[in-house]
Structures are given as C-alpha cells and as structure tokens.
Amino acid sequence: MTLWGGRFAGETDALMRRFNDSFRFDRRLYAADVEGSIAYAGALARAGLITEEERAALVEGLETVRGEFEEGTFEAAPGDEDIHTAVERRLGELVGKVAGKLHTGRSRNDQVATDLRLYLLEEIDELDEALRALQTAIVEQAEAHLGVLMPGYTHMQQAQPILFSHWLMSFFWKLQRDRERLADVAKRTRVCPLGAGALAGNPFDVDREALAQDLGFDAVASNSIDAVNDRDYVVEFLAWAALTQTHLSNLAEDLIIWASREFGFVEIDDAYATGSSLMPQKKNPDALELIRGKSGRVIGDLTGLLTTLKGLPTAYNKDLQEDKEGLFDAIDTLKMELPITVGVIGTLAVNGERMAAALEEGMLATDLADYLVRKGVPFRQSHHLVGEAVRRAEEQGVSLDELDLSAYQAISPAFGEDVYEVFDFERSVAARVAEGGTAPAAVRAQIERAREVLGERR
C-alpha cells in the first residue's frame, strides 16, 4: 500500500511506477532514515502525541529494521516506492498500528531532506579521512626524495630546476584546500529540516531545536519552504567533488607523462598498471588514466544537478529526486579513487638519475639574469641581455655554459669570469630559500608545516 493512495481510484501504470520509484538507489539512506525516525519518535513523545511506551515500541522496531538492512536480510516488497515507504511498511509489520503514528506532522519532503543531510555528513567524514591519507602518502614520498632534482615545467616546456619533493608537495596544498572546502560544506549541511512538514511547518508544536540536537545538527532551517527545497549543500558538495577530482586528474596527468619511456622520471607499480592484449612490452598506467577519465562524470554530476534545479518553482518538486544518483556517483567515485591514488603515490618508484639527465643548462637562463642583477644591471635590461646570449649560443650550436667569455662580454661587460659559476643546478635550487621556494631548506620547512597540519609534529 502506498503512503498516498487514498485519493486515487485507479492503479499506477507499471511503467510509471518504475519511472517514479527510487528505492533501487535511495535504499542506501536506510541508516539515516532510521536515525531520523527514531529522533522524530522522541519529538512526538515530548509533544505528548504518543506515549513513552509507544515511542519505545517504535524505536525497537526501527532498530530491528536497521539491523535487517545491515545484515542484508531486509526483504523489499512490491510497494516499496522509496526508502521511507520501505522502512514504514516493515515497521508496521513489526510493531503494528502504532507505526502509523510515526508520520504525524511529518512529510516525506522534510524526511528525505533530513536523510540526505545525515547521509552526506557521514560520507564527508570518510572522504576527509581519505584525503588526509593521500596527503600523508605525499609527505612521506616528498621526505624520502628530498634531494632529487628535476626539471620544472611551464607550458610543458622546461622552465627552471626544482626539487621533485617541491613538485609533489604542491599537491599536498591543493588537497588541504579541498579538505578546508569540504569542512565548509559540512557546516552548511549541519542544518536540520525535520519539522518543516511538506512546506508549511509542523502543526503539533514539535521541538525542532531538540530534534536538531538529537540528530547532531548545529541549527534548524529557518524557513519551512526553504527547508524542503534547499539542495544548495548538495550542489556545494558536487562543486567540491568536481574540483577535488580535477586536482586528482592534474596529478594523474603529470605522472602519466613522467611514466612514459620518453621521460622515465617515475615508474608506476605493477599493482596500479595493466598490460596490452596485443603488445607484450606495454605497461599502461590505467589507474591514473581512469582517474583522469572520471573527471568528466564527476563534473557532469554537478552540471546535471544545477540544470535540474534551474527554474524549479517554490518548495518541493519531484525533480528533486534527481539530487541523489549524481551525488551517490560522485561519492562512490572519489571513495574508490582516493585509496587507489594513495597506493600509486606510496609505491611510486622515482628515477632521480633520469630526472637529473633531463636537466639542461638553458634552464639556468633566469639565474644568469639574476647574476647580472647582482652586478647592478636592472632586471629588464639583464633579461634582454641574457636573451641575446641564448640566441648567440643557439646560433653557435652550444649550450649557455659552453659559450665563450668573449661572446658574453661582447653582449655586456657586466659578464665576468665568474659567470660560469651560475651553471650549477644544485646552486640554483638552493638559492630559492624564500618561504614556499624549492630550496631544500624551504621544502623541509614546508614538509614540517604539512606535518603540523596533519597533526604529526616530529
């Protein structure tokens, strides 16, 4: 029996039923639905609408339903339209007519809004832990390879020498911002809509503040219409997920390139790679390619919900049922990807020799300009003079460190015999000691700050 069938004389079309029903995907909200119902039973008892004995019977029945879901023994019935219908139907089978009192003053509109918030808060906690685990793996690899130099890139062109650890730690801070944004999403998710009814509020003077406290929310929704309509927190979460997914994709892209034979900077562990069905020599970074590839679906989850919400009229509309599948997909995707990324980073083989071999003296052109600055030449002029030196070296088919002193001094008398001291990659890296720079001392300090963030002071 449906929860709304009294007004209808005819049966719902079978195809319409399949189109309308959501139990196949919203059943994962069972724990939140039971938790919200237990709290609501308490609120009804406080308001004098049910007795303490009835409340206890409802709670016992609801705990039994929760146990059946957890143990995998819950048996769905043909009329289980959604998780709320399924839980209420089974509760009635267990405790009898008193189950019919549980929905007093409550609508599925405020019920599902409450369920979704409770569910999301649990998932946010798990995702935060997964992000923290990835940050930890990054810090450990950065610390283990602190002395490894590599070419730094902009526009996918060699730019300046940097530490491999410096590159890797750049992703630590992206993930830290992701964690901060996720905590911010959680703040606005901890608002209780229960007691808003269908849209007009609860007529039985239910104590919404007590309800919010029972359920671990920080506040109650201030407007009952907004309470059942609001899916901002889902949009915010999906925006967070899309950006976090983008950061994972950026990390994957770099590693895919650097694991290629042309670079050979890193090697992906066999546990996170696959082979070719045709070419025996192949080792494909499929874990990373899938992470990169799934960016489209997670970004799509966000744009899908935004499109659904655009132009909706006031309060609850059935369109809002579309808030769940994209949300569940984004959560499931990230909960699988993050531990895999931890594994990729934790088992990554770093080839410092290949990185060092890729360093080219032209990358020290900026150091050469800085050399002239220290000689009193304004930077804009020194930049131009070094550009001339680069052109002359190219014309002669030599590197900058092979260009004759006479050629340098023909460009500017500021170039002295000590100019060749510039061509030292370690010296170049070590010079960048300002906070956030790539010098070993600066990166060590950065790692220490990261460990403080993680609560792992050493």
**Distance between CA atoms of residues 115 and 26, nearest Å:** 10
Residue 424 neighbours by CB distance under 10 Å:
16
Catalytic residue among 22, 276, 384, 399: 276
Residue 24 neighbours by CB distance under 10 Å:
11
Q: What are the b/e assignments for 158-178, b being 16+ CB within 10 Å?
A: eebbbbbbbbbbbbbbbbbeb
**Distance between CA atoms of residues 23 and 99, nearest Å:** 20
In single-letter form, the type of residue at position 310 comes to K
In single-letter form, the type of residue at position 306 comes to L
211 class by beta-carbon count within 10 Å (0-12 exposed, 13-18 middle, 19+ buried): buried
Our answer to whether residue 295 is catalytic in this structure is: no
**Distance between CA atoms of residues 344 and 349, nearest Å:** 10
Nearest to 91 by CA among 69, 109, 115: 69
Using CA atoms, how far residue 356 sits from 25, 226, 235, in Å, is 52, 59, 45
Instruction: Measure the CA angle with vertex 266, ends 263 and 272; round to 5°.
Output: 125
In the DSSP assignment, the letter for residue 243 is: H
In the DSSP assignment, the letter for residue 11 is: P
**Distance between CA atoms of residues 209 and 204, nearest Å:** 14
In the three-class reduction of DSSP (H, G, I as helix; E, B as strand; rest coil), residue 414 is classed as coil
> Which H/E stretch holds residue 163?
strand 157-163
Question: Is there a contact between 159 and 358 (Cβ–Cβ < 8 Å)?
Answer: no
DSSP notation for 374-408: HTT--HHHHHHHHHHHHHHHHHHT--GGGS-HHHH
**Distance between CA atoms of residues 55 and 98, nearest Å:** 9
Q: Would you give the end-to-end CA distance of the chain in angstroms?
A: 62
Our answer to whether residue 247 is catalytic in this structure is: no
Kindly give the residue spans of alpha helices, DSSP state H, lying in 294-396: 295-309, 323-346, 352-357, 365-374, 379-396
In the DSSP assignment, the letter for residue 416 is: -
Catalytic residue among 22, 103, 155, 170: 155
Catalytic residue numbers, as ranges: 155, 276
